[in-house]
Structure 1
Amino acid sequence: DRYHEFLHMTRQWCHIRMLKRAARGHGPQGIANTQPGECALLCPACPHPGKNLTPG
Structure 2
Amino acid sequence: GLEKWVWEQGRGVWEENSAVEALEGFITDITQDRRNQDRILQSQKELRSLYHRLES
TM-score by length of 1: 0.40
TM-score by length of 2: 0.40
Q: Flag the structure with more relative contact order, 1 or 2, with Cα contacts below 8 A and sequence separation at least 6.
A: 2
Higher strand share: 2
Say which one has the larger Rg.
2
